Structure 1
Amino acid sequence: MGFGLVVRFVARDAAAAHAFDALAEAALEGIRTEEPGTLVYVNHAVSDEPHVRVFYELYADREAFEEHERQPHVRRFLAERGQYLESFEVTFLNEISGKGTSSGQAAR
């Protein structure tokens, strides 16, 4: 069953948002090539909130997420992100059903 999260980040200012995006892109290079259990990992800008970023992350399962968290590129991102942020909020998600998800149609 799929496991996901949504994270809302608020950068300190425009320069911090730009630097945060660069840090996220560096992490994404490793995520794209080294994490088969990471199904979706997207950094979104928010309309009318130029300092806000929202990550949507979907993993094959909880173990895939835990493996993601152990990766050096992710550990670097987690260690360095705070210098750019005013705040962040994490919401964990457990799949019920959907299209294009890891399980196709999860149990209800």
Structure 2
Amino acid sequence: MDTVINSWLIREGGLDIHDGDVIGLCVESRCVFKASAAFPEPVQVGLRVGKLGNSSVTYEVGLYREDRETLLAEGTFTHVFVDRATHRPTPIAGQLKQSLELLVAG
């Protein structure tokens, strides 16, 4: 889940994990097993935003077989966005906020 979320944030949200002033810290992660898969079976991932707060976001993630019908696992992942230097929460703004709003469930 972490890889899917952060890849999306970098690509679509413009998050600069190396030099940006804002970073996302994972404060909670949960995954519930539904069915087995074996390496190297490809999986499809569904990603949406379940809750978008001022400085935090909770993602909802589904992992599916390649046919997109069999749910393998589902979970949530919560980021709090903070100032890189102080680690104090900072409001989600700009391109990052706009891109997250596109994923809001509803």
- TM range, smaller chain: 0.3 to 0.5
TM-score, normalising length: structure 2:
0.35
More helix by share: 1
More strand by share: 2
Structure number with greater CO (CA < 8 Å, separation at least 6) is 1
